[in-house]
Structure 1
Amino acid sequence: MNTLILQKEVQDFINQNESESSAKLALKKSPFEGITSSELATQIDGRQRCRKKIPLWAETANIYYPDKLNLEQCSSEKTAIFKATLIPENVTLIDITSGFGIDDFYFSKRAKKVISCEINPQLALISQYNAKQLQAKNIEVIASDGVDYIAKNKDLNIGYIYIDPSRRVAQQKVFMLSDCEPNIVSLQENFLQRAAHIMIKVAPLLDITAALSELNHVKQIYVISLQNDCKELLFIQERDFSGQPEITAVRIFGDKTQQFIFTQEEETEKVTSFSAPLRYLYEPDVCLTKAGAFKSITKAFDLKKLHQHTHLYSSEIYQEDFLGKIYEIIEVIPFSIFKKSKEKLRTNAVARNFPLKTEVLKKKFKIMDGGELHSFFTTDHTGELIVIHATRK
């Protein structure tokens, strides 16, 4: 951490050049002694990234930004705000892999104390400095391995242990929790002796069923999406809990948050009804599909599915609380008739459970992108290929 960057004239330069290309600035000579052009570029790039991902940091004066990899790996502001609602007030939480500390800042809004462990001493220094700038007085940043810190502080009264294990080991991506660092699978029983709850944040590529085969005492699973992009999975373990965990699909879009709760057992027991497209068409948010709520939503929202392998649903009655995009159907055309048409079509076309991919369809039938029309090339409950033209509700 180069503290010269915090000088007023340097901060003024960063503010004045915030919209400039950081790549181009990195190639120019630095106007400040003791500060490289690369360091200036890192600060400007960091501010630009934070504007979109964690705007509070970009809006707060004199924030120090880390390398872009740390910003790419940190939580977004909106997902961090949601996660903070899952802990009780006045608890002591220890984050053993804190990184840039976004989650810890929002945990500190509810927790009595947050102990933020970061093994990278430079990143820990940056997080500690930024916590002061953000007036987060109940965060204690420790430049240490979080696992070692817990082992050495046996008298520490911990309510929650939070962990975001690294999915990249020896430059290779791993897909099982037991292969991540630190290995939460081998640590879980020890951790549950120290804290009543463990919260594990993992990437959405992780298979939920595979994770449940490795983890004990999982009480809740959250599948969190932001603007229809699945951002993370969150597993919450509770000491001595046994039974079916609740799965909550969380859809964050704009300033709204929707949740749908079910269990894998309920999903297995549900019977799906199929039908031809009705008045309204429903496209599930990615949080629902990743969570595996393919049948549960049919009962909850009184929907009919188009086909077993077509994850599109319909109804005669408008279900405004559905987690996903809702369309009003204009017409349904057999694909055999559509492909004979010579009319040029401007629409937002997409293929779902269809033998041709979206880009192939667009090219073959000269479909132009844009407009208010949405066209779904799909398969109905009888196995017939159809085209559904609809508009967004």
Structure 2
Amino acid sequence: MGNTKIKDKEIQNYIDANLHADLHALLLKKSPFPAVSMQEIVQQIKGKQTAHKKFPFLLKEGIIFPPQLNLEQSSSEVTALYKSQILKGKTFIDLTSGFGIDAYYLSQNFEEVTLVEQNSGLLKIVEHNWTILNRKATFIHQNLEDFLKINKEHFDVIYLDPARRDQNKNKVFLLEDLSPDILQIKEKLLMTADEVVIKLSPLIDLKYLISVLPDIFRIEIIAVKNEVKEAVIFLSNEEREEITVNCINLESGESAFTFTFGEEESAQAEYSEPGKFIYIPNNSILKAGVFNLISERFGLKKLHPNTHLYTSDQKVTDFPGRVLEMETVESKQIKKKEQFNIISKNYPLKPEDIKKKYGIKDGGENYLIFTQSKKGKIILKSV
């Protein structure tokens, strides 16, 4: 676990007293504690700062934090809590435990929990923290491929979060480029558990996923405050008729949008020029690419085949995204130094270019949308 002295009360008080200190300046100072380096102290400060934003449940006395990279790679408390509501059973195993945030939440509805992690120092930190949190688990220090080769036990649920960077630390997205290679170990995973749950990059292409993994029966696209954070896939040996996709925008108050791929393939969008209200789907739905189904499901008209904005004259109140009351304006009606939030959709200029061209200030409560309908380029302004 590294230096166990970091847990001493006096050192923890010093860490708490410096939570808002300049960390670069702090690193240049000599540690006031002979047994603990300033680098170790700053690591704990960074950990507590991250926990405040990302996993506040860890802000307890005695909790130890790992290096910054492990913190960055961890799921947030809000996404882990959401996923935990989907899974339940008797036996759960996380094959890529990391800092254990997902494991802590996802395993809450299981009787027996196993964590596998190849980084021994990180695993010891997690084991220590789980003791503080009064959570029990079997902790196994091993590479997951080696574990799968010798394991004889069957689990209700396997969870894994593959590394999404190559040896040069560049981001990778194809399943065969991840570590581990999902396509190579897929059969072994499905022999080892009834259900396999894999966290993937939010940038991954859903149609590609379905083409290479026919065992998928569910996909969760998880956004937090309209930023897509994760795509989570669920695999099983059981045959299912349709793949269910659930788009959720946490901390937004919006309802989840659930569909099957068959629904989107058969959906037909209707088109019209802008009406009184303009609808912008949240990013989890845009990621899913259900552009025709949105039109059909909510009775909305689309502006253009390549403009993912929708319109109506009567307001739809349960729409999962932003609803703006707008009117069409001419460019000459835009006054210099006016303040607007600028949106550019299917339009040749980016928001920065639009601001420069029209001398507009960014921000405020009103919106300008530069877009395209079937009749051509249009500008929409908040009413």
Same fold (TM over 0.5): yes
SS at match of 1:373: strand
Retained in 2: the 8 A contact 1:120–1:143?
A: yes
Amino acid at match of 2:346: N
What is aligned with 1:229? 227
Which whole-Å CA distance do the structure 2 matches of 1:260 and 1:85 have between them?
17
Which of 148, 151, 155 does residue 150 from structure 1 map onto?
Answer: 148
Deviates more, 1:227-236 or 1:290-299: 290-299
Query: Which string of whole-angstrom CA distances, capped at 9 and with x for unpartnered residues, describes residues 189-233 of structure 1?
Result: 122122111001001121111122221311001111111111010
How do 1:162-311 residues align onto structure 2 when only pairs under 5 Å count? 162-171=159-168, 172-254=170-252, 256=253, 258-311=255-308
Residue 104 (1) aligns with residue 103 (2): yes
Equivalent residue for 1:114?
113
What is the rounded CA distance, in whole Å, between the counterparts of 1:257 and 1:12 in structure 2?
Answer: 41
Q: Indicate the SS of the match to 2:203.
A: coil
Conserved 8 A contact 1:218-1:241: no
User: Which deviates more from structure 2 when the two are superposed, residues 12-21 or residues 226-235?
Assistant: 12-21
Q: Given the alignment of the two structures, is residue 69 of structure 1 paired with residue 65 of structure 2, yes or no?
A: no
- Number of residue equivalences: 381
Per-residue deviation at 1:342?
Answer: 4.8
User: Separation in 2 of the partners of 1:167 and 1:84?
Assistant: 22
Where 1:320 maps in the other structure, the secondary structure is coil
1:42-71 Cα shifts (integer Å, max 9, x gaps): 1101111111111111x2222111111111
CA-CA distance at 1:91 after TM superposition: 2.3
Match of 2:11 in 1: 10
Question: Are the counterparts in 1 of residues 43 and 66 from structure 2 also a CA contact under 8 Å?
Answer: yes
Q: Secondary structure at the match of 2:302?
A: strand
Structure-2 change in CA distance of 1:153 and 1:376 (3 Å) = same
When structure 1 is superposed on structure 2, of 224-233 and 342-351 the one drifting more is 342-351
The aligned counterpart of 2:21 is 20
TM-score, normalization: structure 2? 0.95
Instruction: Please provide the CA RMSD for this pair.
Output: 1.6
* One-letter amino acid matched to 1:68: Q
Output one character per residue of 1:283-340: Cα deviation in whole Å (capped at 9) or x when no partner: 11110011111111112222111111111112223222222122122x211xxx3147
Q: Structure 1: which 5+ runs fail to align? A: none
Instruction: For residues 161-197 of structure 1, give each alpha carbon's deviation from its aligned partner in whole angstroms, at most 9, with x where no partner exists.
Output: 1111111121233221012111121111122122111
Kept in 1, the 8 Å contact 2:18–2:45? The answer is yes
Deviation of residue 270 (structure 1)? 0.7
Query: Is the 2:159–2:196 Cα contact (8 Å) retained in structure 1?
Result: yes
Q: Percent identity?
A: 36
AA matched with 1:260: F
Q: Is the partner of 2:361 in helix, strand or coil? A: coil
TM-score (norm 1): 0.93
2:138 and 2:28 mapped to 1: Cα distance? 37
- The aligned residue for residue 81 of structure 1 is 81
Secondary structure of the corresponding residue to residue 168 of structure 1: coil
Q: What amino acid sits opposite 2:295 in the alignment?
A: T
Match of 1:364 among 348, 357, 370: 357
Aligned-residue offset at 1:258: 2.8
Residue number in structure 1 paired with 2:38: 37
Aligned to 1:387: 379
Amino acid corresponding to residue 183 of structure 2 in structure 1? V
Q: Whole-Å Cα distance in 2 between the matches of residues 320 and 112 of structure 1?
A: 42
Alpha-carbon shift at residue 123 of structure 1 (Å): 0.5
Deviation, structure 1 residue 280: 1.7
Deviations along 1:233-276, one digit per CA (max 9) or x if unpaired, are 0110011324431111111125x463111122211111101112
- One-letter code aligned to 1:372: E
- Provide the residue aligned with 2:343 in structure 1: 350
Q: Which runs of 4+ in 1 moved over 6 A?
A: none
Q: Which residue of 2 aligns with 1:123?
A: 122
AA of the residue aligned to 2:359: K
SS across alignment from 1:148: helix
Q: For 1:23, what is the secondary structure of its paired residue?
A: helix
Name the residue aligned to 1:374: 367
CA distance in 1, matches of 2:334, 2:182: 58
